[in-house]
Chains A and B, each alone.
Chain A
Amino acid sequence: MLPPSPSRAENVQRAKYAHIAIAVVAVVFCGYLVLMMMGDLRGLWQAQSAACRLKAESVKMAARAREAKQRQFEPRRIGVGSGLELFAVQMARWTSARQIRMESLTPDGSPTPVDVKVSNSSLGRWKANKVMVQGSGQFGQVMGLMDEFLNPRMPVQLESFSLQAMSGGEDGSVSFQFVLTVYEKESGGA
């Protein structure tokens, strides 16, 4: 009589089923692992492509910024600022440099708020101050002073002018009156 053994036909059958079940589990498990790895790889790829895109954009924007800086924004080109006080200071400099006597600089009335738009882009809200400047000096020097209004360092516009030869002014001296609109950024600084 042989001793009982696990190597019976039923056990072999059971082992076969277990083998198949474990093979199925292995396949599912490996599939799960592959999916997870693919998900991680996808995340990495997305991050890398975002980094590439951002880098390209940054390079483009930096180039634009550099170009804009070179083109427009040397410090001397954008003005010394805006506002009546700064304008008065600037006028005093301009007139003293030309030996022009500035007799008065008078703001007229309260400032008018205006919305400034350039090419459909808003520059925000500004205050427009009307200012009258009176004085006297040599004609050539007064013309030079007027030329300063052509330099767009300040938001200033010459609205009207009057030049009058001074009585007995054989030396070419004239008295002048300018009316200017001086713009000032409402938020405080241009």
Chain B
Amino acid sequence: MRPFNLAQTKILERSYCRQHFEIRLRGITLLVALMVVAAVGSGSFRATIRSKASCVRSEVAVAEARRGETRRELANMEMLSLQYRWQNELAQRSKRWIKALDSILQRAPKDVWLNRIQSAGQGGGVSVEGAAGSYESLSAFAGRLRGCPMFSDVRLCSTKMAAAGSGGAIEFTVQLHLRSASSAPSIGAQTSDVPNIGGQF
């Protein structure tokens, strides 16, 4: 049996403890170093990301400003487009009268002369005054007007022989109505909103 050697045991224990103590210290040092490296790496990474993000944000701000500008421009254009449509609708309303005038003129036979054509108020009434060479011509004129889908209520209101020296012409007055336009535009400003000129037409 080997005798117990306290000194040797103490020495062995001491070297064992030292070894483990150093391992722990190295581990601690390694962890601290790791934390420092991570902090430095993270800091530089975050700085890079932040600078990139601020670049992108400034780009976003520029793009937003540009978008706002384009949006304003677009809204302005849309407003102009609406205005153009409205003006076109107004023109179409005017066109109704001009088309009626053209239609009346086209339907006048050769020996019918028109002296006066005038619209009569907002209701689409038109009064036509003129002279015809014969009743046949006058009848043909009235018949053609009745046959036109644009007009309704075509009435021969008056006829009379023209003054002597006019070759037996017959003076007449025809009244008619324009059919209401089926494509009435939906404009807030209706013509009824506008005051009439004191009974001129």
Contacts and interface: CB of A to CB of B under 8 A. Distances in A.
B70 A163 contact: no
B5 interface: no
A30 B24 CA distance: 20
A150 B95 contact: yes
> Interface majority SS on A: helix, strand, loop or mixed?
mixed
B86 A44 contact: no
> Interface majority SS on B: helix, strand, loop or mixed?
helix
Contacts of B84: 72, 77-78, 152
Interface stretch (A58-66, A88-96, A97-105): A58-66
B90 A108 contact: no
A47 B59 CA distance: 9
Interface stretch (B115-123, B141-149, B169-177): B115-123
B195 to A, nearest CB: 5
B31 A9 contact: no
Nearest to B186: A119
Interface residues of A, number: 86
A47 B116 contact: no
Nearest to A69: B77
Interface string B85-109: 1111111011101100100000000
Interface residues of B, number: 84
Nearest to A47: B56
Interface string B47-80: 0011011001101100110110011011001111
A118 B89 contact: yes
A146 B98 contact: yes
Contacts of A58: 63, 66-67, 70
Contacts of B150: none
A67 B93 CA distance: 28
A171 interface: no
B21 A15 contact: yes
Contacts of A86: none
B195 A30 contact: no
A121 to B, nearest CB: 5
Nearest to B116: A164
Interface of A: 2, 5-9, 11-12, 15-16, 18-19, 22-23, 25-26, 29-30, 33-34, 36-37, 40-41, 43-44, 47-48, 50-51, 54-55, 57-58, 61-62, 64-65, 68-69, 72-73, 77-79, 108-109, 112, 114-119, 121-123, 126, 128, 130, 132, 143, 146-147, 149-165, 177, 179, 181, 183, 190
